[in-house]
Structure 1
Amino acid sequence: MSTRLHLQLVTPTGTLMDREVDSVTLPTRVGEITILPDHAPLVSVLSAGEATIADGSSKTPFVVAGGVVEVFQNTVAVLADTAEEPTAIDVKAAEENAKKLAAKIAAEPVMDSAVYAALLNDLDRERAKINIGKKWQKIQ
């Protein structure tokens, strides 16, 4: 029985994390999951939300949006479309982006389903950034 996980957090712009951790909590389309050592093999689609990496007594939050996670033999590979640390979030900019996206969705009642899905994904990402950015500001 292993006591640690090897986490690889990768985005299209590069590797954000590649290290040993105790656990990883991720938002998926079917809800939040926590991966512990010796987890069963798993592949899941990520949704926009908060990812938490626990290592000892510290917990590192990230905002992730889109992508997939694969768990196999105590390796957790997170291939995220985007990932940001809360300290990098500009809450006001995220709020403005969310307003623009919501207005764009409301202004076009009929649109291509792929365009609609992309807009909703972007809106979910901005809302996650707002929620996590505000939460992080409160504890700082």
Structure 2
Amino acid sequence: MERSEKNAGQNSVIFALIYGATYIPATWLLKHQMVDRPLSIIIAIVPIITFSVFILKMIRAFSVMDEVKQRVQLEAVVIGFSLTAMLVMLLFLLELCGISNRGWFGYGHLVGYCWAFYFVGWFVSKKKYGV
């Protein structure tokens, strides 16, 4: 059981790196409009596919974890989602007030904030359960 948990965890890390290796260049290429429109659509879809595979591998990794590690991951996702929802609500309300800075809080930045919030939840939950 320990071996399969380690393999599943390594697979999810590998696919997370593959996702990052497709997302970052795609963002750069699309931001600087280096390619024509039909190719840009394909470039925009590739990170979504790699992220989907990463999520599937992550879910498989969760299924072989023990109950405490599953609880840590679940709490990390819940905390991350809650913080992301609060940030989106705050940004919406600030936009209604006419106070908005898309340079710091654009759609592209929300991905980074989601990951940061997940890791905040992960650290809090790991400390809570002593894992």
Please tell me the TM-score bracket, short chain as reference. 0.3 to 0.5
Kindly indicate which of the two structures has a greater share of residues assigned to helix. Answer: 2
Kindly indicate which of the two structures has a greater share of residues assigned to strand. Answer: 1
TM-score (norm 2): 0.33
Structure exhibiting the larger radius of gyration computed from Cα positions: 2
TM-score (norm 1): 0.31
